[in-house]
Structure 1
Amino acid sequence: MRIALNAQILRGPRTGIGHYVAELATALAREPDVQLSLFHGWGWSSQLPQATLPGYSRLAPLLRQVPGAYRARRWMEQRRFDRRRSGAIDLYHEPSLWPLAFEGPTVMTLHDLTHLRYPDTQPPARLREIERRLDQAVQEAQLILTDSQFIADEAQRYFGLPAERLRVAPLGVAARFHPRSPKTVDPVLKAHGLEAGRYFICVGTLEPRKNLSLALRAHAGLPESIRQAFPLFIVGMSGWQHTQLNDELKSAMASGHVCLAGYLPDEQVAHLLSGARALLFPSLYEGFGLPVLEAMASGTPVITTRCSAMPEVAASAGNYCQPDDPQGMRDAMCRLIEDRLHWQACREAGLQQAALFSWERCAKVTVHAYHQVLGG
């Protein structure tokens, strides 16, 4: 099968969907009946780009500020896509919300319905393009992959799709996420002023949907001595409307017990997840919640919200609270500090749960979808 995968999201820093594309492409390349071509927006390649490609840093701000910039970029990308597609592709896989025009069969991945559930968390220009394009794209795709059953059910209800047009392909966990000894993680932790097992960590883009203020309020509610002994370390790039957090973040950081590290290299994040007391993942809405899986695979307990897809990923291994309940999150943090047996039970349950997920499994479900669409 000659498969075209739209990999242009890899032009920018890799967050959730970027990691999905990179890991899926790597796993698909190992499938014997898949001949994979990656479209990166500027051309075609059989290899994943290793760094941000030219143009990303210039185009990203324009998409937020210049009227019509999304459509202009789309026109250019379509022209570049068309140079290769004729007669050389059996199936086109669009891994996000922006399928390019293709006369052959299309499979698309629908990661979430954030634009419907939380439209105020999307840049207006992006929201307009999603509203303009997504319904048609969903109706035209021969088959739609989702990361979780939660999103499959949402998509079926909202778009009125028959169940046979949806397939759940749960995400996997990269090999870099695994338990590490304190001695192994110590060099990375020391560079950030941290000690193994003596900090909480948040991982995710700084934007309203990630609900970081819940973690900040929960941590602020801890006794002073505990906040000093267990600081909160935040990893993530700035996203849409991140300035809404500025005052709350500045106040938390002024206390000396909260550190905002920004975007960090993947390997550093893996060490930091493994060394943490627990991951705080307070998101309002996720189609999967990849950091939850990555923390569990690292042997780190998870405190997350009981909403959207998080319970499907963490299952009984998770510690849960409501998305507007800082006291519930604070109590879960205290228990993971004070109750060693509970911490160990969460660690072991998380490792068992994470073992159920793999990128190889995700790729095989995806390949089966390709075969189904192509009549194999």
Structure 2
Amino acid sequence: MRRGPRVAADGPLRIALLSYKGNPFCGGQGVYVRHLSRELARLGHRVEVIGAQPYPVLDEHEGVTLTRLPSLDLYRQPDPFRTPKRGEYRDWIDALEVGTMWTGGFPEPLTFSLRARRHLASRRGDFDVVHDNQTLGYGLLGGPRTLGAPLVTTVHHPITVDRQLELDAAEGLKRRMSVRRWYGFTRMQARVARRLGSVITVSGSSAAEISDHLGVRRERIHVVPIGADTDLFSPDPSVPEVPGRIVTTSSADVPLKGLVHLVEALAKARTEVPEAHLVVVGKRADDGPVAAAIERYGLGDAVRFVKGISDAELVDLIRSAQVACVPSLYEGFSLPAAEAMATGTPLIATTGGAIPEVAGPDGETCVAVPPGDSGALAAGLARLLTDPALRTRLGAAGRTRVLTKFTWASAARGTADLYRAAIGRPAAQVRRTAALGVRAAGSNVERGKAPC
């Protein structure tokens, strides 16, 4: 991107959108980067996504560009947790990345932030604002003096929530120690979050969690709900409905996603609805609690996993279902809920985290059940699968709710407003934030010290 003078306060902005992990088929961060960048470009802004592997899929025909900032890609398939060859090491950041992995930690938020810091410093003047998508690494501290532009950060939800749920589910001291090492980066993220001038989050529930878990002052947290691509995720009566089909999205076999409770609920629901079956959008784990539950209840023929499908295939899969389900114990927003509702597919969801903010009231726009309650989930599934009128009513109401409240166009407008507020912050406030950041970065980064 060519350097040039700063644009007018009400003109198009030059945005650097950082994404340390951008896979749009695994988790919500890649989805966020893709759709937000597209809608910001449609508003007339110049958006450059700076990302590491897995690189995000972007709508480049809309004018969004991608700058690759490669890591060592230590978790790639088919050789995750690999040890790089000697010739792959480029600098001390690479050595830090490998060393953190060897000691059981997750290095990518820190090491991406250090590479992004170096990259942005070399391009001072190219951007009006830097938008970090939940990296929260030490390298991003220091304010405009270090990054060349004001920093705005999105925190979808504190990863400390995931950490606690995994600790609660861990069996044995060895497993608990492993979980603590892996999530060691959350200490860094909390320290960084407290030094940020502006934090965007996606729901009121996440805002409360960010304040409680990370210690961010509430007045610095701004809620900008995200949403569904309502042109793509839309009803299509020509897609045949498959009797008994339930669809869910689960990017990983972790307690947070509640998939094991859905498998248990399916086993119970099939006593009333024998044709009930589940299609999971995500990778099937060879072992773990979900695999064990499928085997225990004899559901091998009733649970199918699909991965790597196209957007069009995903939408048609959701349209073909009689019920979409979000069984998570906690969500900071829940894109799968919004996307299912946008297709007009009736939704059953838990009340974990921000899900009620998206799904709406029980009996009006969805069926709502307590998180972790497989009995209540089974009863709700059986109720929906046997009541066509209820499915029709909830499906239509869900679509209307998403169109009214949760679209990417409105998310982009709200985000751009916060960019302008960050650019216009008083100089004294910027200097105070930068000073805090420089001290933290100096003590933890410049000497190559790992925080995890």
Deviation digits for residues 322-357 of structure 1, max 9, x if unmatched?
Answer: 123222111111221222221111111111111121
CA distance in 1, matches of 2:184, 2:381: 40
Deviation digits for residues 123-156 of structure 1, max 9, x if unmatched?
Answer: 544410122x112221222110011011112222
User: Counterpart of 2:353?
Assistant: 308
User: Counterpart of 2:292?
Assistant: 247
Over the residues paired in the alignment, what is the CA RMSD in angstroms? 3.2
- Secondary structure, counterpart of 1:92 in structure 2: strand
Deviation digits for residues 8-52 of structure 1, max 9, x if unmatched?
Answer: 4226744211101111111111223x33222123899952589x9
The structure 2 residue matched to 1:57, chosen from 68, 76, 96, is 76
1:118/1:209 contact within 8 Å kept: no
> Do the aligned partners of residues 119 and 272 (structure 1) sit closer, same or farther apart at CA in structure 2, a change above 3 Å counting?
same
TM-score of the superposed pair, with normalisation by structure 2: 0.71
User: Counterpart of 2:450?
Assistant: none
User: Counterpart of 1:146?
Assistant: 201
User: Counterpart of 1:204?
Assistant: 250
- Secondary structure, counterpart of 2:209 in structure 1: helix
- What is the CA distance between 1:258 and its match in structure 2? 1.9
- Aligned AA for 2:411? C
2:65 aligned with 1:47 = yes
> Do the aligned partners of residues 120 and 4 (structure 1) sit closer, same or farther apart at CA in structure 2, a change above 3 Å counting?
same
2:247/2:324 contact within 8 Å kept: yes
User: Counterpart of 1:29?
Assistant: 41
2:158/2:214 contact within 8 Å kept: no
> Do the aligned partners of residues 13 and 337 (structure 1) sit closer, same or farther apart at CA in structure 2, a change above 3 Å counting?
closer
CA distance in 2, matches of 1:269, 1:95: 25
The structure 2 residue matched to 1:88, chosen from 121, 126, 133, is 126
CA distance in 1, matches of 2:417, 2:343: 29
- What is the CA distance between 1:224 and its match in structure 2? 4.4
1:304/1:320 contact within 8 Å kept: yes
> Do the aligned partners of residues 354 and 71 (structure 1) sit closer, same or farther apart at CA in structure 2, a change above 3 Å counting?
closer
- Aligned AA for 2:421? Q
TM-score of the superposed pair, with normalisation by structure 1: 0.85
- What is the CA distance between 1:374 and its match in structure 2? 0.9
CA distance in 1, matches of 2:31, 2:163: 23
User: Counterpart of 1:258?
Assistant: 303
- Aligned AA for 2:14? R
Q: Which runs of 5+ in 1 are unaligned?
A: 187-194
2:66 aligned with 1:66 = no
- Aligned AA for 1:87? G
> Do the aligned partners of residues 158 and 254 (structure 1) sit closer, same or farther apart at CA in structure 2, a change above 3 Å counting?
closer
Q: Which runs of 5+ in 2 are unaligned?
A: 1-12, 83-97, 145-149, 168-178, 426-452
- What is the CA distance between 1:215 and its match in structure 2? 0.9
CA distance in 2, matches of 1:54, 1:29: 30
1:311/1:318 contact within 8 Å kept: no
- Aligned AA for 2:266? H
The structure 2 residue matched to 1:180, chosen from 236, 244, 249, is 236
2:224 aligned with 1:169 = yes
> Do the aligned partners of residues 295 and 253 (structure 1) sit closer, same or farther apart at CA in structure 2, a change above 3 Å counting?
farther
1:252/1:258 contact within 8 Å kept: no
CA distance in 2, matches of 1:283, 1:73: 24
User: Counterpart of 2:339?
Assistant: 294
> Do the aligned partners of residues 213 and 70 (structure 1) sit closer, same or farther apart at CA in structure 2, a change above 3 Å counting?
closer
2:267/2:297 contact within 8 Å kept: yes
Deviation digits for residues 159-207 of structure 1, max 9, x if unmatched?
Answer: 44443311111111123211122x3x35xxxxxxxx5353111112232
- Aligned AA for 1:130? T
Task: Name the % identity.
Answer: 24
CA distance in 1, matches of 2:201, 2:330: 15
Deviation digits for residues 286-343 of structure 1, max 9, x if unmatched?
Answer: 0001101111001111111122101110112121111232221111112212222211
- Aligned AA for 2:205? F
Which range is displaced more, 339-348 or 5-14?
5-14
- Aligned AA for 2:245? Y
User: Counterpart of 2:31?
Assistant: 19
- Secondary structure, counterpart of 1:173 in structure 2: coil
- What is the CA distance between 1:75 and its match in structure 2? 4.2
User: Counterpart of 1:101?
Assistant: 140
User: Counterpart of 2:8?
Assistant: none
CA distance in 2, matches of 1:252, 1:279: 21
Say which structure is richer in helix: 1
2:374 aligned with 1:326 = yes
1:180/1:274 contact within 8 Å kept: yes
Which range is displaced more, 65-74 or 315-324?
65-74
CA distance in 1, matches of 2:106, 2:270: 48
